[in-house]
Amino acid sequence: MSVKPPRFGPTDTIPCDENATPLAIVGIDLTVTREQLRTALAAGHAEQAGQPPLADIDVLDIRREIEGQLAAGAIVAVDDETPNVNGRLTPEYAAALDAAIDRAYTLPAQPSIQRPRYRNGTVTLQTTDHGEVTTPEPGWCAGHDGEYVGRRSEISHDGNPIEAGVVTTRHGPGTIMQAHVSHAPHLEIRPEPHPILSVHLSFDGDLGPEDGRNLTRALRIAAASLDRAIADLAHLRGEQR
Ligand SMILES: [Zn+2]
């Protein structure tokens, strides 16, 4: 097949057994010939006793009819085989089949939300690899409520954000600097023995003289904020200025 034909549908999701609990929606693209489409549509139209006339059926209903016929053909064949196959399965093989289906047709669990417990200068957090972990909670940490549960090495104490903004006539308000004190005490590959200042600077734009002065003023304010944050960081680390 050298040219890929155009793709249509799926128009609707087709329930294969309305009386059973569904596990998954299986997507499938079938490349078919005109003759196969003709057969499927003729079969569907015959089931409706030829009503309404083909010329009166809208495009989506034509596709629904054909998709339904193709799906019915597939699922009837599977259902016919189901009693035979299930009757022959050993419990071990049935379990292996279910394990394969679970791998292929279930979604990874959603990460759960942290419910931290703070006590006596510590915080107890859930981790995906070490269960509950209790770690010292520095006074500057903004807390862990609402975080996702992750690995122990990903535990990070983050201070309140420090921000500096700029307003230019051309670009309106924007943030040029964001920073916060951060400490990930359980990092393994690159250990972080002391708190650090995490800094993000951003500005990109063309300016006239007025906006240029707005920007330099904002940068001086950002630099002053960073000076204070760095002094606080040195103090946290027990360093003298
Ligand atoms: Zn913390």
User: What's 121's DSSP letter?
Assistant: T
Task: Give the phi and the psi of residue 103 in degrees, each rounded to 5.
Answer: -65, -40
Give CA angle at 66 (63, 69), nearest 5°. 145
Q: What per-residue confidence (pLDDT) applies to 240?
A: 52
pLDDT, residue 238, reads 87
Q: What are phi and psi of 202, to 5 degrees?
A: -155, 130
Helix (H, G, I), strand (E, B) or coil at 178: strand
CA of 62 to the centre of ligand 1 (A): 60
> Helices H, strands E: what count in the chain?
4, 7
CA 170 to chain centre: 35
**Distance, CA 85 to ligand 1 centroid (Å)?**
55
User: What distance in angstroms lies between residue 135's CA and the mean position of ligand 1's atoms?
Assistant: 8
Rounded CA separation 9/155 (Å): 45
User: Which distant-in-sequence residues (6+ apart) come within 8 Å of 23 by Cβ?
Assistant: 101, 105, 106
Q: What is the pLDDT of residue 18?
A: 81
Distance CA 212, CA 7 (A): 53
> Which residues does residue 134 pair with via DSSP β-bridges, in sequence order?
124
How far apart are the CA of 38 and the centre of ligand 1, in A?
66
Buried b (16+ CB within 10 A) or exposed e, 157-188: bbbeebebebebeebeeebbbbbbbbbbbbee
- 169 Cα to the center of ligand 1, angstroms: 39
Ligand 1 geometric centre to CA of 123 (Å): 7
Return the structure tokens found at 34.
């005109």
Q: Which long-range contacts (CB under 8 A, 24 or more apart) does 192-197 make?
A: 194/236, 194/237, 195/138, 195/140, 195/157, 195/233, 195/236, 195/237, 196/233, 197/226, 197/229, 197/230, 197/233
* Domains of the chain, residue spans: 1-107, 110-155, 156-241
* CA 138 to ligand 1 centroid distance, Å: 6
Q: State in Å: Cα 121 to ligand 1 middle.
A: 10
> Block means of pLDDT (10 residues each) for the chain, length 241 residues?
83 86 91 96 94 94 95 91 90 94 87 93 95 95 95 96 92 94 94 95 92 95 96 86 49
For residue 1, the model assigns a pLDDT of: 57
> Distance between CA atoms of 150 and 102, rounded to whole angstroms?
23
CA–centroid distance, 180 to ligand 1, in Å, is 13
User: For residue 137, how far is its CA from the centre of ligand 1 (angstroms)?
Assistant: 5
